[in-house]
């Protein structure tokens, strides 16, 4: 069955007739005197051709308006499983995420590289959940709104880059932004997975204040602290420089998770990161609901293509042929 998404577009059907009726006629051109019988023959042929061109143009216009109304064909209903869980990933893309200290598959990769590989698999298993993606650095911004299209979320994460949101870390702002979008949904469970390798150094909201806001709206936060546990402080010209692991604010991340009923995970290598995601993935399952989805297939290319073919017949091919012969 064909359904039109924008049926009001059919109101444009009489537009050419109205323009022809109300616009002033074009100024007549200079007359060309021809022998009497030649003029009559040419006028008769021109009149017949003109009527055919008018009918073809009218049919092409009807097809264009039909395409603009977006004809859609309803596909058979499909059963859609929904968990009732809304899950937001907040991923740190600050400059320190480019540090290569994560053992993975016999080689050492960057922290963000490990996150992409393992979080992508985690997202792929969230079938039935609404999943969204927040990236944060100096600023936090929503990259992917909450959606059931988990393949799009995975692609968005794969295309993200270090420094995209600045080089610092705004933990509190990321929590507030994710909570704002999670709170809009009437989900039975709202979950935020916060992944970072640093301490809050930017933003306008303290992480613990943001955690209190999340708890008041029923958002449960799971925090993952990433970075090698083998990093040690070093001394350069008598100055002590902390290693990457010492930049991680474990007490703050533990407090954020505990305040909201979540849990803190330490991931010093790719295996521990994968284990953290598996633990979150094994949350107590919720009662799953089923609903029917009626996919719609767009059919506008067919009338639009037919209109373009008809429009091609209205082109002055004969004049173009003679014009090409004149330049040959």
CB-based contacts of 315: which residues, under 8 Å, 6+ apart?
A: none
Strand 2-4 and strand 71-74: pairing? antiparallel
Q: Tokens 């303290």 sit at which residue?
A: 206
- What band does 81 get if pLDDT is binned at 50, 70 and 90? low
| Beta strand ranges found along 83-199 (DSSP E) | 85-92, 100-104, 107-110, 130-136, 140-147, 189-196
- Assess whether pLDDT exceeds 50 at residue 234: no
Q: Cα 232 from chain centroid? A: 41
**Are the C-beta atoms of residues 226 and 199 closer than 8 Å to each other?**
no
Residues pairing with 293 in the sheet: 78
- Label residues 15-29 b or e (16+ Cβ within 10 Å = b): eeeeeeeeeeeeeee
Q: pTM (2 decimals)? A: 0.59
Cα-flanking dihedrals φ and ψ of residue 15, to 5°?
-60, -45
Total residues found in the chain within this entry:
328
182 within 8 A of 210, measured Cβ to Cβ: no
Select, from the ranges 33-42, 79-88, 123-132, the one with the highest average predicted confidence (pLDDT): 123-132
| Residue 66 to residues 14, 55, 84, 296, 309, Cα–Cα distance (Å) | 13, 17, 39, 17, 15
- The CATH fold assigned to 80-290 is Rossmann fold (3.40.50)
For the stretch 277-313, what's the b/e string if a residue is b when 16 or more beta carbons lie within 10 angstroms of its beta carbon?
beebeeeeeeeeeeeeeeeeeebbeebeebbeebeee
pLDDT tens digits along 46-59: 566 678 888 888 89
Most confident by average pLDDT, 43-47, 116-120, 178-182, 225-229: 178-182
Q: Specify the higher pLDDT residue, 40 or 73.
A: 73
Q: Facing residues of 226 across strands?
A: 267
From first CA to last CA, the distance across the chain in angstroms is 53
**Distance in angstroms (rounded) separating the CA atoms of residues 140 and 130:** 20
Tokens representing 52?
């055919």
Question: For the chain, which residues make up each domain, given as ranges?
Answer: 2-74+296-327, 80-290
Residue 178 reports pLDDT greater than 70: yes
What is the 3-class SS of 270-327, one letter each residue? HHHHHHHHHHHHCCCCCCCEEEEECCEEECCHHHHHHHHHHHHHCCCHHHHHHHHHHH
Query: What average pLDDT does the chain have?
Result: 78
> Angle of helix 250-259 relative to helix 171-182, nearest 10 degrees?
20
């Amino acid at each position: 069955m064909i359904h039109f998404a924008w049926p009001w577009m059919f109101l444009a059907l009489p537009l050419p007739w109205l323009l022809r009726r109300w616009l002033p006629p074009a100024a007549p051109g200079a007359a060309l005197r021809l022998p009497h019988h030649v003029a009559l023959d040419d006028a008769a042929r021109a009149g017949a051709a003109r009527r055919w061109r008018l009918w073809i143009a009218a049919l092409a216009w009807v097809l264009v308006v039909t395409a603009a109304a977006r004809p859609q064909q309803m596909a058979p209903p499909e059963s859609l499983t929904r968990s009732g869980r809304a899950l937001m990933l907040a991923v740190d893309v600050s400059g320190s995420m480019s540090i290569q200290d994560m053992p993975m598959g016999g080689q050492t990769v960057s922290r963000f590289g490990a996150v992409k590989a393992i979080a992508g698999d985690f997202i792929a298993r969230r079938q039935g959940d609404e999943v969204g993606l927040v990236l944060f650095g100096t600023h936090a911004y929503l990259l992917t709104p909450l959606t059931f299209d988990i393949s799009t979320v995975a692609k968005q994460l794969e295309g993200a880059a270090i420094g995209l949101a600045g080089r610092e870390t705004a933990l509190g702002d990321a929590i507030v932004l994710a909570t704002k979008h999670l709170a809009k949904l009437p989900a039975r469970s709202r979950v935020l997975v916060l992944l970072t390798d640093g301490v809050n150094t930017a933003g306008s909201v303290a992480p613990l204040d943001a955690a209190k806001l999340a708890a008041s709206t029923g958002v449960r936060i799971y925090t993952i602290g990433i970075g090698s546990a083998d990093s040690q402080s070093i001394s350069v010209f008598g100055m002590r420089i902390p290693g990457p692991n010492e930049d991680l604010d474990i007490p703050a991340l533990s407090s954020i998770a505990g305040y909201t009923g979540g849990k803190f995970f330490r991931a010093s290598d790719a295996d521990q990161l994968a284990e953290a995601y598996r633990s979150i993935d094994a949350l107590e399952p919720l009662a799953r609901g089923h609903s029917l989805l009626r996919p719609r297939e767009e059919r506008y290319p067919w009338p639009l293509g037919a209109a373009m073919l008809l429009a091609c017949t209205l082109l002055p091919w004969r004049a173009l042929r003679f014009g090409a012969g004149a330049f040959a």
